[in-house]
Amino acid sequence: MTDALDPALETQLNATEETRHASLLEFLRIPSISALSEHAGDIRRAADWIAEELARIGFEHVEVSSTPGHPIVYADWLNADGAPTVIVYCHYDVQPVDPIDLWETAPFDPFIRDGRIVGRGSADDKGQLHMHLRAAEALFVVRGALPVNLRIVFEGEEETTSASLPGWLEANRGRLGADAVVISDTGFFEGNIPALTETLRGMLYTQIDVTGTPTDLHSGSFGGAVENPANALARIIAALKDRDGRVQVPGFYDDVDTLDDAAKARLAALPFDPEAYRAQTGSGPLQGEVGYSILERKWTRPTLDVNGIWGGFQGEGSKTIIPAHAHAKVSMRLVSDQDPDVLFPKFVAFVEAMCPPGVRVSVQFLGGGKPVRTPIDHPVAQAAARALEATFGRAPVFIGAGGSIPVAEMFEHQLGLPVILMGFSNPDDHAHAPNESMVLANYETGIRTICVLWDSLGSANRG
Amino acid sequence: MTDALDPALETQLNATEETRHASLLEFLRIPSISALSEHAGDIRRAADWIAEELARIGFEHVEVSSTPGHPIVYADWLNADGAPTVIVYCHYDVQPVDPIDLWETAPFDPFIRDGRIVGRGSADDKGQLHMHLRAAEALFVVRGALPVNLRIVFEGEEETTSASLPGWLEANRGRLGADAVVISDTGFFEGNIPALTETLRGMLYTQIDVTGTPTDLHSGSFGGAVENPANALARIIAALKDRDGRVQVPGFYDDVDTLDDAAKARLAALPFDPEAYRAQTGSGPLQGEVGYSILERKWTRPTLDVNGIWGGFQGEGSKTIIPAHAHAKVSMRLVSDQDPDVLFPKFVAFVEAMCPPGVRVSVQFLGGGKPVRTPIDHPVAQAAARALEATFGRAPVFIGAGGSIPVAEMFEHQLGLPVILMGFSNPDDHAHAPNESMVLANYETGIRTICVLWDSLGSANRG
């Protein structure tokens, strides 16, 4: 086999386009939102749906594996004697849909139109999971076998920081022997240029809760004499970053690598257009940490964002109260050797120090993951690069990702396996936002990329 | 007549206690929330309920008078020849009930227990409105007439800054001739000591809206490069006050009187216990503008509070977004000659100056009212003081109020009438908050105070 798509697979994929798309839309219609407990049944339904597909396609040992949270779907096919074994990871849970009023169509009524698959999960990550199902199906149908050994690990808690996965990996260590892990939960570079992701930022996700009084107070009777939790929360948040975009938590930058000139040059050489990136968001002028380019800010510098804030009266009109309490979700993206477990107590101490007297503050740890650097010279990474070039017609660029995939760090650190981040979403996918979509060509060509990669790994090994 | 309750009125009130209480609870059960448009029908129902009562009791020219907003209930009885004419103002609208989870009982399922009337509106202001109905009813039943001429003006938009009242006063100027206005929408002093309110703070109520992008963004892909509207909002709010509690808007204090030593001494002489005041709220240590006592802060100094704040993800768990927009309701309490119309543009300019680049900010004017100083040496004010002493057994103290009653300023400035603020709620009434209540003894004795006041005014005039 060479690094080109087997024509028999191309014929099979072309012949099944309609049923493949119907299956994708059926999968996307399941509102598998992991963050909201009322969707636990939908999560379970999505897991069962995948398990049925895996069994039907030809995988063995299919299992909807219980965890303290949402289930992990496991399956394997280990009959490619002499070929390498690869763990394939995707996730079937999706982000919540709010603000629902900004969706142009119903998030769980997906459709394919004008070259796009539109709907929650189309890009992140159910669409990519579905590509792996269809690539394996094509191989099973055409050959009755896979060219490599695969272990499927499809998770349902990625959007809530994969809380159950470490325990599951530990408990299942015995059946997770492999040569590498391929994770498809990343995307292409700006301009929809094929890419392999070399670095991922880590994550520290917190909730700050400021409490004043047991009940709301009349702002006339008590305003000016009792501290206001919402004003206090604003003061705390404002103190977290200075006007140059530097996080003010002492020790925050201790484990952040300084970029050398060569690294800066490599980033500067990428075909990145800050104006196109800005225009894609509809944002005003780009901002961020002073002294760094946009790509440096995204991939090599940590940052801090309020993901949500609330307290007091949010209705129509006016209500003259001092809110009893106020809250914010605050998350940090981490780089280099920053460790969420090391940073959390520093963050808590700083928040407590910034809290004005008269109110109380507490900080919850909602999740975390270390930054990841993948081995881009590993044979599987190199094979993936060749497969992308063979199918998309241009060599991939090696990029960083601003986002976090805690599971990458878990596979790397817990199982000691090389992790390859081969993802297919387009940069304007609106992941985590209203009107999420995936470019249909990325989905279709990506299925072929996966087939080429498995063939390449199987053939290389056999020789 | 003297400044003592006519025994026939006492007998009548004692005989009707049960029906009066049933009527009060019936009135409180109507969820007349003016801020929420879905309650417009309830507001109308409350107005109709009052109109029927007024007509039944014996008032004339009863009218549910339409406005661009909620109706004003007007009635009069002008047959006390030679006696003065008093406008009685109360409001029948109430605050929203959120946070509903902090109510120990249903806000619109009121009850009387352990010496308290409990439910939304019991103190602010439907309970006090009901006292005026019952005082007049007792006089009509016992005497077939009132000792004074009364014009009833009961409003339904007080909790949303009385937007329609100025136009209505202007349009009805012809039938609003009077010697004074008695407003019952204030309360007693700490320790539940009878009080007449001499000063009211004014109000400037705004909403700050910060907009970043048309949709939420993935905080991994864009965090650190795109300004975050929630972080920006926190920065704006934090800039509004310094750590000494001083509002930072340039010119904010231009029209604030400096307290002289005599005024400070008068305030210091009041039987005020800061610790009891603090304990009543469940707050931590009291805070506020450095250099002023608690009563000075409440009554003689302006302040600024966030009444509500919201943006981004507020659900369970974590969602890694940069919110598309973030919002806050911010109100200021005004004193002395501060004018909301003068301050609003200064506030807007400051907010705009504090907004970081990369996001847009706009400010809405949601309402305002000037501060008020009442003529405490006016004969009606002095008669009110005597009536309170005669019924409650101790002379009232003259106090300020931290709250705002824009309508007091409207009567004073539009109609040129002296305004007397005689209110009966208890300081721990939880107005605008969960578990609102009124002390039953204030309600019962206050009905008698009103009877004594009308008798006193009628008798004084007739000599």
Q: Assess whether A299 and A362 both reside in one domain.
A: yes
- The C-alpha atoms of residue B6 and residue A176 are separated, in whole angstroms, by 92
Does the structure's ipTM exceed the value 0.90?
no
Asked if the structure places residue A324 within a domain, the reply is yes
Q: Is the pLDDT of residue B208 over 50?
A: yes
- The C-alpha atoms of residue B321 and residue B63 are separated, in whole angstroms, by 53
Q: Is the pLDDT of residue B235 over 90?
A: yes
> Does B203 sit within 8 Å of A357, measured CB to CB?
no
Q: What pLDDT score was predicted for residue A463?
A: 42
Q: Tell me which of B369, B394, B412 is where a domain ends.
A: B369
Q: Using the 8-state DSSP alphabet, how is residue A283 labeled? A: -
Q: Is the pLDDT of residue B263 over 90?
A: no
Q: Is the pLDDT of residue B462 over 70?
A: no
Asked if the structure places residue A280 within a domain, the reply is no
Q: Assess whether B119 and B154 both reside in one domain.
A: yes
- The C-alpha atoms of residue B142 and residue B14 are separated, in whole angstroms, by 13
Q: Assess whether A192 and A337 both reside in one domain.
A: no
Chain B residue with minimum CA distance to A103:
B215
Question: Three-state SS for A217?
Answer: strand
Q: Assess whether B183 and B143 both reside in one domain.
A: yes
Give the tokens for residue B153: 């003006």
Q: Which of A305, A430, A435, A436 to mutate to test the interface with B (most CBs of B within 10 A)?
A: A305
- The C-alpha atoms of residue B449 and residue B438 are separated, in whole angstroms, by 16
Q: What pLDDT score was predicted for residue B2?
A: 54
What is the domain range of residue A342? 202-268+287-369
Q: Assess whether B162 and B179 both reside in one domain.
A: yes
Asked if the structure places residue A278 within a domain, the reply is no
Question: Three-state SS for A208?
Answer: strand
- Identity of the residue in A213, A230, A288 whose CB atom sits nearest the CB atom of B306: A230
- What is the mean pLDDT of each successive set of 10 residues along chain A, which is 463 residues long? 85 98 98 96 98 98 97 98 97 94 96 97 98 98 98 95 93 96 94 92 96 92 93 98 96 95 89 89 92 93 97 92 97 95 98 97 93 90 97 93 83 93 94 95 98 93 48
Q: How close, in Å, is residue B135 to chain A by CA atoms?
A: 28
Check which CATH number belongs to the domain holding B67 and give it.
3.40.630.10
Query: Which residue in A124, A160, A403, A267 sits closest to B221, CA to CA?
Result: A403
Residue listed under structure tokens 């975390």: A368
Is A233:B235 a contact under the CB 8 Å cutoff?
Answer: no
Q: What pLDDT score was predicted for residue B463?
A: 41
Rg of chain A on CA atoms, in Å: 23
Query: Which residue in A50, A403, A376 sits closest to B217, CA to CA?
Result: A403
Asked if the structure places residue B1 within a domain, the reply is no
Q: What pLDDT score was predicted for residue B34?
A: 96
Q: Assess whether A183 and A114 both reside in one domain.
A: yes
Q: Tell me which of A369, A395, A413 is where a domain ends.
A: A369
- Count other Cβ atoms within 10 Å, centred on residue B192: 17
Using a CB-CB cut-off of 8 Å, the residues of chain B touching A308 are 230, 311-315, 319, 321, 323
- Identity of the residue in B228, B243, B307 whose CB atom sits nearest the CB atom of A319: B307
Q: How close, in Å, is residue B273 to chain A by CA atoms?
A: 13
Mean pLDDT of chain B: 94
Q: Is the pLDDT of residue B292 over 50?
A: yes
Asked if the structure places residue B272 within a domain, the reply is no
Using a CB-CB cut-off of 8 Å, the residues of chain B touching A399 are none
Using a CB-CB cut-off of 8 Å, the residues of chain A touching B311 are 306, 308-310
The one-letter amino acid code at A436 reads E
Asked if the structure places residue B262 within a domain, the reply is no
Asked if the structure places residue A26 within a domain, the reply is yes
Please state the domain count of chain A: 2
3-state secondary structure chain B: CCCCCCHHHHHHHHHCHHHHHHHHHHHHCCCCECCCHHHHHHHHHHHHHHHHHHHHHCCEEEEEECCCCCCEEEEEECCCCCCCEEEEEEECCECCCCCHHHCCCCCCCCEEECCEEECCCCCCCHHHHHHHHHHHHHHHHHHCCCCCEEEEEEECCHHHCCCCHHHHHHHCHHHCCCCEEEECCCECECCCECEEEEEECEEEEEEEEEECCCCCEEHHHHECCECCHHHHHHHHHHHHECCCCCECCCCCCCCCCCCCHHHHHHHHHCCCCHHHHHHHHCCCCCCCCCCCCHHHHHHHCCEEEEEEEEEECCCCCCCCEECCEEEEEEEEEECCCCCHHHHHHHHHHHHHHHCCCCCEEEEEEEEEECCEECCCCCHHHHHHHHHHHHHHCCCCEEEEECCCCHHHHHHHHHCCCCEEECCCECCCCCCCCCCCEEEHHHHHHHHHHHHHHHHHHHHHHHC
Q: Is the pLDDT of residue B46 over 60?
A: yes
Q: Assess whether B309 and B440 both reside in one domain.
A: no
Length of chain A, please? 463
Question: Between B115 and B428, where is the model more confident?
Answer: B115
Chain A residue with minimum CA distance to B435:
A215
Is B54:B129 a contact under the CB 8 Å cutoff?
Answer: no
Chain centroid to Cα A338, Å, comes to: 19
Q: Tell me which of A317, A339, A369 is where a domain ends.
A: A369
Q: Which of B101, B164, B216 to mutate to test the interface with A (most CBs of A within 10 A)?
A: B216
Asked if the structure places residue B277 within a domain, the reply is no
Give the tokens for residue B95: 């605050």
Element (H, E) at A74: strand A72-77
Q: What pLDDT score was predicted for residue B461?
A: 52
Q: What is the pLDDT of residues B134-154, one digit of tens each?
A: 999 999 999 999 999 999 999
Check which CATH number belongs to the domain holding A249 and give it.
3.30.70.360
Chain B residue with minimum CA distance to A221:
B402
What pTM was computed for the model? 0.77
Give the tokens for residue A105: 């169509």
B215-to-A102, A111, A159, A195, A428 alpha-carbon distances in Å: 7, 20, 19, 25, 12
Is B416:B214 a contact under the CB 8 Å cutoff?
Answer: no
Q: Assess whether B228 and B99 both reside in one domain.
A: no
Q: What is the pLDDT of residues B100-114, one digit of tens each?
A: 999 999 999 999 999
Burial class (CB in 10 A: 0-12, 13-18, 19+), B10: middle
- Identity of the residue in A294, A323, A358 whose CB atom sits nearest the CB atom of B283: A358
Question: Angle, nearest 10°, between helix axes B7-15 and B17-28?
Answer: 60
Q: Assess whether B419 and B342 both reside in one domain.
A: no
Q: What pLDDT score was predicted for residue B190?
A: 84
Rounded (10°) CA dihedral A211, A216, A222, A223 = 80
Q: Assess whether B155 and B41 both reside in one domain.
A: yes
Q: Assess whether A377 and A401 both reside in one domain.
A: yes
pLDDT band at B64 (very low <50, low <70, confident <90, very high): very high
Q: Assess whether A312 and A424 both reside in one domain.
A: no
Q: Which of B158, B201, B233, B287 to mutate to test the interface with A (most CBs of A within 10 A)?
A: B287
Element (H, E) at A59: none
Using a CB-CB cut-off of 8 Å, the residues of chain B touching A241 are 231
